[in-house]
Structure 1
């Protein structure tokens, strides 16, 4: 069986690695010319995603990944703050959590290494055709290729999924996100103590929110094997994400870059009354790391995901269940999709089922997975957007001081 994978992100590379390892004829095409030239900063993989990854890559790749990853169990409990930096509550104890955080570049590089010569970079797909016969993939600057199965792993704006669905498979979620990275050593002692070795979320009125994630693949390494380490992050770092409701004003910020974008973000938070010390993580960020992006989301209803009859063209990951980063599960779900598809295709080569049946069973499971993570991610999105009304803003302003007082009493 020849499988063509369109898209060399996490899901596409994971699938390509698994197919190659199991002896399938596979080709992965991506328009990027360098796998390390990727957006995003860190990826969280829970035990389910790690288990799926073990089915896709060689044990030595998992060892290198774990040597380059930060262990959630070594972090302090997550925190929730208001716009003044007052503690409102804490998350669950992480000491028994098997989850890991890893640089996106590190994970993508390791997966690309596993795909090897079957990864073709700098190849832009222009069209997919052949629903009833052998599928064919066309390129902007190369001859078309045929396959027994085509898999779209080409992300939120997937050409393959749009071909199958006859239109977009997701829509804007109503939030514009801004991300960056700040070395912990660049912060003042007071902010280092407040933020701590943990991740946290602060929500203010009018839909303003700030997530601060803690990443330390060296000090909090999952596997203490320095010779195997290849993490991009080499010391305690805060990977942060600012969020504002989508509007003409916030959308215009997407046109800014570097220092200008960082300054515009700080100005917007200050206009909404955020305490200056809570903005230090943005103010002291590497300006070249600051970027803007729109949150997109597919439907939370499983029945509305992958709304096409099963055939010899399918899709996975964000191409089907585009998920805002507010659940930290999007990449993990794509890896689980890849492992599930590989498992079903294995039954085809064993002669136990047909390609169409295998794809049908895979898509049914993917719909359930996608619905699960989208439901979790959209809870936070809706919470943030609920503060972007006169009533919601007033309630946030009035209630948070009482929550902070209660938190102080609990943690005396």
Structure 2
């Protein structure tokens, strides 16, 4: 079977690697000219995502992935704090977690290696459709085209493939704008290093401002102690943070800025909302070149709204179907599971359309689950941008902080 995959992100590369390993003829096309031309931020792979990936790639690739990943079970218990930096509570106990965090660039590079010569970079798709013989066809911007037995759109939130299938957009803005960056832990003052700790944290303030600070240490917290196999681009303890604000003309204007100018303007927006200076040090000490901006888009949380097209020999996966905000850390893992399910269905059915029908049923169910989880946090942040929400945030968080000080520290018992 010849399969053309449009998009060389995590899901597209995972599918390409799996189908190639299973003996199918595969071609993955991506507009990037370099697999490292992506955000250098981290993604979380839970046990389900890792199990799915293990069905798609060789054991050696999985060993390299684990050697390059940071094990959640080895870090401190996650923490929630308010806009003044006061502790509000702790997250669940992760000591038994099999989840890992890994740099997006690292994972994409590993999967690109697994796809090998079947990955075609610098190829921008302009449209997809069915030719006069009823065969799926992909057309590139320069006018050339290819045909296949099956075309899979793995081209993200603004997917050309899913827009063709659904005759329109498959997701919408959530109302949040995100900013992200990387900060070496050693670059922070000792007091702030101690406050943030070796954990991931989340800070929420009034008027829709929130700051997630993820902790990544694939050397000290390697999921697999095999330094010779590590490909991680992060070589020391690093905070990878994400700032969130409700969408507005003022906030959207920051997207046009670059580097230090964007970084400074971002800090100013937090300061305008009365965030404590020390809570913003992780932004102020970031590498200016790492500070990126993006809009949070999301598909519907209802399974019946996802993949709203007749089953055929053109389909899609990942954010092309269930565009998911990063607020649950499940988007990339869901795309990998999509890829594993599609590969399994193609191997289980001789009829392509029947295989796609079974796959899309699972796709809708999974997409609705991850979107429901991600949108809970989005809605919570947006709720603080209302007058009652802002009032509740400023009046209740001091009380929660007092209560947190009176409770035993669960991290101290580990």
Q: Could you say whether these structures have the same fold, taking a TM-score greater than 0.5 normalized by the shorter chain as the test?
A: yes
User: Aligned residue for 1:150?
Assistant: 151
CA distance in 1: counterparts of 2:50 and 2:140, whole angstroms: 33
User: Aligned residue for 1:339?
Assistant: 340
User: Aligned residue for 2:63?
Assistant: 63
CA distance in 1: counterparts of 2:301 and 2:384, whole angstroms: 21
Q: 1:390 deviation in Å?
A: 1.0
SS in 1 for 2:388: helix
Q: 1:411 deviation in Å?
A: 2.7
User: Aligned residue for 1:410?
Assistant: 407
User: Aligned residue for 1:41?
Assistant: 41
Q: 1:142 deviation in Å?
A: 5.3
User: Aligned residue for 2:382?
Assistant: 385
CA distance in 1: counterparts of 2:216 and 2:225, whole angstroms: 16
User: Aligned residue for 1:108?
Assistant: 108
CA distance in 1: counterparts of 2:394 and 2:144, whole angstroms: 60
1:304 and 2:305 equivalent?
yes
Deviations 1:75-120 (A, max 9, x none): 1111000001000000011100000000000000000001001000
User: Aligned residue for 2:27?
Assistant: 27
CA distance in 2: counterparts of 1:247 and 1:123, whole angstroms: 34
CA distance in 2: counterparts of 1:286 and 1:144, whole angstroms: 41
CA distance in 2: counterparts of 1:47 and 1:100, whole angstroms: 9
Superposed, 1:65-104 pairs within 5 Å as 65-104=65-104
Match of residue 368, structure 1, among 360, 365, 368: 365
SS in 1 for 2:310: coil
Normalising to structure 1: TM-score of the pair? 0.98
CA distance in 2: counterparts of 1:187 and 1:89, whole angstroms: 23
User: Aligned residue for 1:226?
Assistant: 227
1:397 and 2:390 equivalent?
no
SS in 2 for 1:311: coil
CA distance in 2: counterparts of 1:155 and 1:319, whole angstroms: 4
User: Aligned residue for 2:412?
Assistant: none
RMSD of equivalent CA atoms: 0.9
CA distance in 2: counterparts of 1:395 and 1:65, whole angstroms: 43
User: Aligned residue for 1:248?
Assistant: 249
Deviations 1:187-210 (A, max 9, x none): 001000000000010000000000
User: Aligned residue for 1:166?
Assistant: 167
CA distance in 1: counterparts of 2:313 and 2:261, whole angstroms: 47
CA distance in 2: counterparts of 1:200 and 1:142, whole angstroms: 48
User: Aligned residue for 1:273?
Assistant: 274
CA distance in 2: counterparts of 1:2 and 1:152, whole angstroms: 15
Cα pair 1:262 1:283 within 8 Å, conserved: yes
CA distance in 2: counterparts of 1:129 and 1:373, whole angstroms: 29
Deviations 1:278-309 (A, max 9, x none): 00000100011001000000000000000001
Deviation >6 Å, runs of 4+: none
Deviations 1:149-178 (A, max 9, x none): 000000000000000000000000110000
Q: 1:140 deviation in Å?
A: 1.1
Cα pair 1:172 1:294 within 8 Å, conserved: yes
1:13 and 2:13 equivalent?
yes
Q: 1:40 deviation in Å?
A: 4.6
CA distance in 2: counterparts of 1:135 and 1:237, whole angstroms: 45
Q: Unpaired runs of 5+ in structure 1?
A: none
SS in 1 for 2:23: coil
Q: 1:141 deviation in Å?
A: 2.1
Q: Unpaired runs of 5+ in structure 2?
A: 410-414
